[in-house]
Amino acid sequence: MAKVLKNFQLMELGGMSVLTDKGRAEIGDTLGLTGCEISVNSIPAERGSEFVHAHKRNEEVYLILRGSGIFYMDGEEFPIREGSVIRVDPAGKRALKAGKEELLYICIQAEKNSLIQKTFGDGVVIKDVKTSWL
Ligand code: ZN
Q: Compute, in angstroms, the gap from residue 52 CA to the centroid of ligand 1.
A: 9
pLDDT tens figures, 9-32 = 888 877 776 666 678 888 888 888
Q: CA dihedral in degrees (43, 44, 48, 54; nearest 10)? A: -10
Rounded distance between C-alpha atoms, residue 18 and residue 126, angstroms = 37
> Is residue 18 helix, strand or coil?
helix
Rounded distance between C-alpha atoms, residue 113 and residue 90, angstroms = 11
Q: Compute, in angstroms, the gap from residue 79 CA to the centroid of ligand 1.
A: 19
Q: Compute, in angstroms, the gap from residue 29 CA to the centroid of ligand 1.
A: 16
Rounded distance between C-alpha atoms, residue 98 and residue 57, angstroms = 27
DSSP label at residue 9: E
Q: Which domains does the chain have, with CATH numbers?
A: 13-122 (2.60.120.10)
pLDDT at 58: 97
What distances in angstroms separate CA 61 from CA 13, 41, 67, 115, one per listed residue? Answer: 20, 13, 17, 14
Q: Compute, in angstroms, the gap from residue 99 CA to the centroid of ligand 1.
A: 20
Which of residues 6 and 19 earns the better pLDDT score?
A: 6
pLDDT tens figures, 74-112 = 999 999 999 999 999 999 999 999 999 999 999 999 999
